[in-house]
Structure 1
Amino acid sequence: MYGLRYFTMLNLLATVCTAVPPRPHIVIVVADDLGWNDVSFHGSNQIPTPNIDSLAHSGIILNKYYVSPLCTPTRGALMSGLHPIHTGLQTSVIEGFHPFGLPLNITILPQWLQTLGYRTHMIGKWHLGSYKSEYTPMYRGFESFTGYHNSHGDYYDHSSEASEGYFGYDFWRNTDLDYTSIGQYSTTLFTEKAVDIIKEHDTHEPIFLYLSYQAVHPGNTPSGNPLQAPSSYVNSHPNIESKERKQYAGMVAALDDGIAAVIDELKSRDMYNNSVILFTTDNGGGANGFMEGAASNFPLRGMKSTLWEGGVRGVAFLHSPLLQSSGYISENLIHVCDWLPTLYSAAGGNPADLGDNDGHDMWEMLSTNGNQVRNEILHNIDPGLSEEAIRVGEYKLVVLGNNNRSMEMDGWYPPYQRADDSTRLHYLNIRAGMSKYKLFLREILLNKQKVACKYCPIDISCGITNIFHSFHEASHVNLFHIPSDPCELRNIAVGNEAIVQRLLDKLNSYAETMVPIGNLTIDPNSNPRLHRGAWVPWQD
């Protein structure tokens, strides 16, 4: 009998010792069009973001993190682990009238996590195709969906304007249009839905929550109100004289409070200590009047829709009590397509099971503050707009044809502050008066104020030598040494022809693997006027 007890006890000990730890809860928060200079942990002295800052500084700030220059390609890479050149999403975005979507033969993140037993929920912006129902969230691995399919819309009435003449309602609960949300501010609505999902979740099961905020993307243009936030948030920024920037700051503040509410609910359900939380923008901010926006990526060059650092260097952090090392700034290169293998690995899956993808498993590197895994990043190859860019080691090459946004929006755009800045510092006016602006920029960079905050903000030094000696406007071939010139002030292509050629060869190798662009055609049958005023999967 004693022998039987001894044998049984050994079995129990063996079971305890080999028990698989519970899979972590995974929360991805996407801030739409958030600029580099729109959070105080990056040094913004206009917009305090205390909740985002706290999570960032107690987690891992991703200081060399890159996304695509536009919404759809970044979201496609996040979900699929594939670079946009391998999904047909390398040019522009999927608008509501495009008969295209993230290809159905690609298994995406929620589907992979479902194989590990995860419950999967999505809230907010999809933007990966909706011309047929099978391209929408409920058919791509999510068991619930509250949000919208298209790129942007009104924050209160949830209408979406793809272009003049294409205007309709776009708000969904699972697979049904939902009109009960009219009048509710989307940031608040999405936060409340996220809190409700966490509150109702069976904590014995792992959850994947994809919280893709509408904030802080501009609303409908040209017919709508692009910058919308409750007055209480707007009025909390009396330091900003610019009406547009003040409205935008209110949008960021609502986002910051929303994230805090989600974290609080994770803690109240005892889920926080077993959670992995990723915060990321989808691209640089639409700055200084582009798309009627008021974001700022300063002092980085360019903005959303460009291949300059202001368009592709993303605001991001990873936060988790499960990290072996945290509270540090990661200077290792990371690309948005790395999140599929990284989060799958964090969930206890084997990234080898994912098959071919363009991402790297960064979980071990991030958790231990380990050595760099990735040495190069393809920013994009866009044959439609004739622009391409790549980072290899310390060098970045930007190759531009004519008539593209990287060529047109190649400046450095400080945030609006004065009441007349929406005219004085509008990106089109800056472009027209570049020589005068260079003098203004020198003063701004040399006297950049520090924000008063609990944590020391990250500062990007453009280099006094660069500022005083070289302001190079965009050329067709642009080479930069990013560690010494993060603001891309000095084009060093001349004299470094061997480096240029080496990076061109890399671009050509990637181009050989590229699939055709998918979102080139417009289907007039998509028009909401034909569907009772709503955007629907019109080819069902």
Structure 2
Amino acid sequence: MTRRDWIAALASPAVTAQPSGPRPNVVIIMVDDAGWWDFGANGNPHIETPHIDRLAAEGVNFTNFHAQPVCAPTRASLMTGRHYLRTGVYNTRFGGDTMRASEVTLPSILRNHGYRTVLAGKWHLGAYAPYAPHNRGFEESLSQAHGHLERYWHPDQFRRNGRSVETRGHITDVLTDAAINAVRRRDPRPFFLFLSYNVPHSPHYISDEYVQRYLAKGLPLTQAQIYGQITHCDRGVGRLLAALDKEKLRDNTIVMFLSDNGGVSTFFNGGLRGRKASAFEGGTRVPFFARWPGRFPAGARVPAMACVQDILPTVCELTGAPLPHGVSLDGESIAGLMRRGRGDSPHDYLYAIWDRFQPRIDRSQWSIRGRRYKLVREQLFDLDTDPGERVDIAAVRPDIAREMRERFAAWLEEVTSGQTFEPPPIPVGHPDENPVEIQASWARIHGSHVTWASASVDPGKEERLGDPAAGSAVNYTFAGYDWDTIDGWKNPGETATWKLDVWSAGVYDVTVSYGCDPETAGGMFRISASGNAVEAEVRATPSRNVFETRPAGALRLAKGAATLEVSVVGPGRGQELMTLNRIWLRKR
């Protein structure tokens, strides 16, 4: 879909029934890495989640609701109503967590329908303009782009409408406060609020008061920290629900609650197999509660199979917003299930798949889930008699296993047709982002010696983004995004390259962040793009893991496609050139 098609899609609505009365507000609360089993409402006897449990009791509990095995894929499906493999997303980093700019998003639809649209929290669908939340339909946003943060106290990666801001306090409180402020804002329009918490994703930083209550129950430390994060988050949900009550918004506000994938906790799993990143039930089944007082039956439990792609068409039906014209959705509205608190699934099959790079049926984690049977790669399970997926019956029912595998293979071929599994070029000189930060994780890295190689590189194939070539010492080291580095390089000719999309021609100042042990300083590196280059000497920092930011010169960039390359000129004392952390390009 081109951008022109996208605009036409919003301007040419599909027919949607208009709701009676004032349009409802919509709040979607998403937690990160909490399992289906991590809430009292779903039978966990150890955890304390009274506010979320009350939300479930006052609304409809979908007990068979599914996401994808990991975070960015689920978020892409939530925003578009489409399976993530259709949206340009295929990874959780290396730029593969960037949703295609032409995708029509739920906030865009609702904003076009007269809603005030607000995001508070994790985005994880694009780090650069025009992929950031304020470019994708959110009128207001306090967000961070990545899947992981190092700092949960006083987090320093948040942006408000694209501009960096300082935040104070624990990340869960920061986001809850932002959500409450959005609810309290006086505005005649209805609002759509997406409150996207980072917890209980690692790092498991939380106040001792929350950890101690679970240590006292006999949980191991890490599990106590995870449960503590969830309980702290539950308090935030309670504060938000109280704000809705105080502002007299409760009765006309739809509140939905879910997680982005299976859980990471292991102390209690509710009888499910697998966890985050798995295609078993424990990796894809997530909590999903929906409350609309007087409209949805309180206390209803719906076992019908549903999925995250269903949320967009459901919200459109409940608000009277148009479905995007000419866009193929994978989701189906489950508004009727919400209103009745019972009914059949709109799906015959659900598909889940996860791979760090290009998905393949012979390598990836995948499953196809029918109403009774489920195939997880080669294993077949009868969910009616074996919901915990313990007994493989593929040898007993090879006909079903074969048919489901063929169905999955055909589906995978269809959704991946025409996909490149490459991130878009990094926009440089975009009016919404100057300077632009060139991240280590987006690089292709090339080296010529020693032994480091990724097991996921196919022999004879070009290395994929984030993978070094076989036999290369040059390595991308993931340390939580802010501390990511490219390291190990020391021979002339070893390089890291990035694809750029230069929006505006001109002179760009180049700044580099790196670390270098004093005893290995003195090497030279070259940065080049658009046919010109600058060279700079690597100066010592306190250590290779302590980064300092230094100017490296200026480059004249032509408008259009370009390749930015950093290469070793001379390694200094024969040791590692540097640990490269970031590059910034600022248009003068």
TM range, smaller chain:
0.7 to 0.9
Match of 1:376 in 2: 349
2:160 maps to which of 170, 173, 186: 173
- CA change 1:236–1:388 in 2 (3 A) is closer
**How far did 1:171 drift?**
1.8
Farther-moved stretch of structure 1 (188-197 vs 71-80) = 188-197
The letter of the residue matching 2:61 is I
Match of 1:63 in 2: 63
2 CA distance for matches of 1:54 and 1:248? Answer: 21
2:181 maps to which of 170, 173, 196: 196
The letter of the residue matching 2:104 is T
2 CA distance for matches of 1:252 and 1:191? Answer: 13
2 CA distance for matches of 1:322 and 1:525? Answer: 54
How far does the alpha carbon of each residue in 1:359-384 deviate from its partner, in whole angstroms, 9 at most, with x for none? Answer: 10111222123421222111227525
TM-score by length of structure 1 reads 0.72
Tell me which of the two structures has the higher relative contact order, counting C-alpha pairs closer than 8 angstroms and 6 or more residues apart.
Answer: 1
CA contact (8 A) 1:78 1:336 kept: yes
Question: What secondary structure is seen at the aligned counterpart in 2 of 1:379?
Answer: strand
1:398 maps to which of 376, 380, 393: 376
* Moved beyond 4 Å, runs of 4+: 523-528, 530-540
Match of 2:570 in 1: none
Match of 1:27 in 2: 27
Question: What secondary structure is seen at the aligned counterpart in 2 of 1:286?
Answer: coil
2 CA distance for matches of 1:62 and 1:537? Answer: 46
2 CA distance for matches of 1:314 and 1:108? Answer: 22
Question: What secondary structure is seen at the aligned counterpart in 1 of 2:120?
Answer: strand
| Pairing of 1:41-190 with structure 2 (within 5 A) | 41-90=41-90, 92-93=91-92, 95=93, 97-98=94-95, 101-130=98-127, 132-157=128-153, 170-178=157-165, 180-181=166-167, 183-190=168-175
2 CA distance for matches of 1:535 and 1:117? Answer: 40
**How far did 1:48 drift?**
1.4
**How far did 1:27 drift?**
0.3
| Pairing of 1:269-348 with structure 2 (within 5 A) | 269-288=247-266, 296-348=268-320
Structure with the larger strand share:
2
- CA change 1:254–1:351 in 2 (3 A) is same
The letter of the residue matching 1:136 is A
CA contact (8 A) 2:279 2:367 kept: yes
Structure with the larger helix share:
1
2 CA distance for matches of 1:71 and 1:244? Answer: 21
Match of 1:232 in 2: 209
**How far did 1:482 drift?**
1.0
- CA change 1:20–1:387 in 2 (3 A) is closer
- CA change 1:334–1:99 in 2 (3 A) is closer
1:264 aligns with 2:246: no
**How far did 1:115 drift?**
1.6
Question: What secondary structure is seen at the aligned counterpart in 1 of 2:199?
Answer: coil
**How far did 1:356 drift?**
1.5
CA contact (8 A) 2:272 2:389 kept: yes
How far does the alpha carbon of each residue in 1:165-198 deviate from its partner, in whole angstroms, 9 at most, with x for none? Answer: xxxx5221221112x21x5100011111111111
Aligned length: 417
**How far did 1:354 drift?**
6.8
1 CA distance for matches of 2:148 and 2:70? Answer: 13
Match of 1:501 in 2: 402
- CA change 1:489–1:377 in 2 (3 A) is same
- CA change 1:106–1:535 in 2 (3 A) is farther
Q: Which runs of 5+ in 1 are unaligned?
A: 1-17, 160-168, 220-226, 289-294, 400-476
- CA change 1:528–1:32 in 2 (3 A) is farther
CA contact (8 A) 2:134 2:162 kept: yes
| Pairing of 1:373-522 with structure 2 (within 5 A) | 373-380=346-353, 382=355, 383-384=359-360, 385-399=363-377, 477-515=378-416, 516=419, 517-519=421-423, 521-522=465-466
1 CA distance for matches of 2:107 and 2:292? Answer: 20
**How far did 1:148 drift?**
0.9
CA contact (8 A) 1:124 1:212 kept: yes
Q: Which runs of 5+ in 2 are unaligned?
A: 1-17, 424-463, 467-495, 500-510, 515-547, 551-580
The letter of the residue matching 2:213 is S
The letter of the residue matching 1:174 is N
